[in-house]
Structure 1
Amino acid sequence: MQTMPAHAANHNDREIETLQEFDATVSARGTLSGYRIQAVDLTDRTRELLGTDTTGAIFLGCRMRENAAAKVRADGAMVFPPVPELPFDPYRGLLYTPDELFTDLAKGYDRTPDALTYAWFQQTKSDGDILASMLRSVHDDSVSDALDELVRGARVVGVMGGHAMARGSDAYAGAARLGRELSREGFTVATGGGPGAMEAANLGAYAAPYGDEMLAEALDILAKEPSYTPSVTAWATAAFEVRTRWPRGGGSIGIPTWFYGHEPPNAFAAHIAKYFANALREDGLLARSTAGVVFLPGAAGTVQEIFDNATPNYYESRGEPTPMVLVNKEHWTERLPAWPLLRSLARERSMESRIALVDRIDEVPEALKRLGG
Structure 2
Amino acid sequence: MSGPSGPSRASRPLSGREVESLSEFDSVAATGSLSGHRVQAVDLTARTSILRSVETRGAVFLGCSMLPEAAAEVQSSGALVFPPVPGVPFDPYRASLYTPGELFEGLSKPEGYEGTPDFRAYDWFQQTKSDGDVFSSMLRAIHDDALSDALDEVLVGKRVVGVMGGHAMARGTADYAGAARLGRELARSGATVATGGGPGAMEAAQLGAYASAFSDGMLVEALETLAKEPSFRPSVTAWARAAFDVRARWREGGVSVSVPTWFYGHEPPNAFASHIAKYFANATREDGLLARSNAGVVFLPGAAGTVQEIFDNATPNYYESRGEPTPMVLVGRAHWTDTMPAWPLLRALARERSMEVRIALVDRVEDAAGKLAELSAS
Instruction: Using structure 2 for the length normalisation, give the TM-score.
Output: 0.94
Check whether the contact 1:87–1:113 (CA below 8 A) recurs between aligned residues: yes
- Structure 1 gap ranges (5+): 1-6
How far has the Cα of 1:30 moved from its partner? 2.7
1:315 is displaced (CA, Å) by 1.1
In structure 2, the residue matched to 1:72 is: 74
Q: Which residue of 2 aligns with 1:354?
A: 358
- Contact 1:60–1:80 (CA under 8 A) maintained in structure 2: yes
Give distance in 2, aligned partners of 1:370 and 1:236: 36
- Out of 34, 37, 44, the residue aligned to residue 36 of structure 2 is 34
The residue identity in structure 1 corresponding to 2:41 is A
| Structure 2 letter corresponding to 1:371 | L
The number of equivalent residue pairs is 366
Q: Percent identity at matched positions?
A: 70
Q: Deviations over 1:101-148 (max 9, x none)?
A: 111112211111110011111111132111001111111111111111
Alpha carbons 1:42, 1:64 under 8 Å: kept: yes
Q: Is the 8 A contact 1:325 1:367 kept in 2?
A: yes
In 2: Cα distance, 1:23 partner to 1:214 partner: 43
8 Å CA contact 1:98–1:267 kept in 2: the answer is yes
The residue number in structure 2 matching 1:145 is 149
For residues 312 and 371 of structure 1, the distance between their equivalents in structure 2, rounded to whole angstroms, comes to 17
- Matching residue of 2:91: 89
Query: In structure 1, how many angstroms separate the alpha carbons of the residues matched to 2:280 and 2:91?
Result: 13
**Residue 117 (str. 1) matches residue 107 (str. 2):** no
1:59 counterpart letter in structure 2: F
Cα deviations by residue, 1:24-51 (Å, 9 ceiling, x for unpaired): 2223x23211100011111122222122
Distance 2:242 2:27 in 1: 40
Equivalent position of 1:104 in the other structure: 106
| Residues 39 and 57 (structure 1), Cα distance of their counterparts in 2 relative to 1, 3 Å cut | same
Once the two structures are TM-superposed, the CA of residue 317 in structure 1 deviates from its matched residue by: 6.2
The match for 2:19 among 16, 26, 30 is 16
Q: 2:200 aligns with which of 196, 201, 206?
A: 196
- The answer (yes or no) to whether the contact 2:61–2:81 under 8 Å persists in 1 is yes
Task: Tell me the residue number matched to 1:331.
Answer: 335
Amino acid at match of 2:33: T
Evaluate the alpha carbon distance shift between residue 168 and residue 17 of structure 1 in structure 2; reply closer, same or farther with a 3 A threshold.
Answer: same
Work out the CA distance in 1 between the residues paired with 2:323 and 2:147.
24
2:270 matched to 1:270?
A: no
Q: Does 1:320 align with 2:324?
A: yes
- Aligned equivalents of 1:243, 1:254: Cα separation in 2: 16
**Matched residues in 1 for 2:321 and 2:291: separation?**
11
**Counterpart pick for 1:298 among 277, 282, 302:** 302
- 1:279 is matched with 283
Whether contact under 8 Å (1:321, 1:350) holds in the other structure is no
Stretches of structure 2 that go unaligned for 5 or more consecutive residues are 1-8
